[in-house]
Amino acid sequence: QNFMNMGRGFGQNTQNLYNQASQDMLGNAVSYATNPDNYSGLVNSAMRDSRRNLNENTLRNIDMNAAASGNANSSRAGIAGAVAQRAFDDRQADVTSNIQSNLMDRSLNSQQSRLDNMTNANQNLGNLYNSGFNQGTMSNEQMLNAGGILQKDLQNQLQF
């Protein structure tokens, strides 16, 4: 009876699991991956060397070359700086997209793993319930058999 009491919630759990499984897991993953709190630190870390190279080398060299040729603040230097910035921005967009894709995969895998674990645990509860039910049935059969044996013994005593 205790086994049945512990495992009896498995039916309701199955309904809850069904409700969770029918949720938009991809939508959850997209929301997780596109939240700046979840990806911005990773992007900043991945872009650290590129940002340093842009600011310390590329833009500095463009400015120094323009100044050395007497063309400081020229449109040519401005265009070169803008092109370098655009290349950096393109790289950052690619890195961000890559990181967000990885975060979506991670979220989907995590959601599926969680659902699988909960389903397995619920199946174990169902098995526990069935064990309790089967033990109750076996106990009833054994008591009936014992009663039949006792009755047969009493009947034999009366006959002899």
Please give the single-letter amino acid code of residue 65. Answer: N
Q: What is the pLDDT of residue 156?
A: 76
Q: pLDDT tens-digit profile of 41-73?
A: 999 999 999 999 999 999 999 988 888 888 777
Which sign, positive or negative, has the C-alpha torsion 55, 56, 58, 63?
Answer: positive
Read off the pTM.
0.62
**CB-CB neighbours of 97 under 10 Å:** 12
Alpha helices in the chain (DSSP H): 2-7, 10-21, 25-33, 36-46, 48-53, 59-68, 75-159
Q: What is the pLDDT of residue 149?
A: 72
Six-digit token string for 132: 């309790």
Q: How far apart are CA 61 and CA 105, in angstroms?
A: 40
41-52 burial, b for 16+ CB within 10 Å, e for fewer? Answer: ebbeebbeeeee
3-state secondary structure of 160: coil
Quick check: 9 pLDDT over 70?
no
Q: How confident is the model at residue 144 (pLDDT cuts 50, 70, 90)?
A: low
Q: What is the pLDDT of residue 94?
A: 96
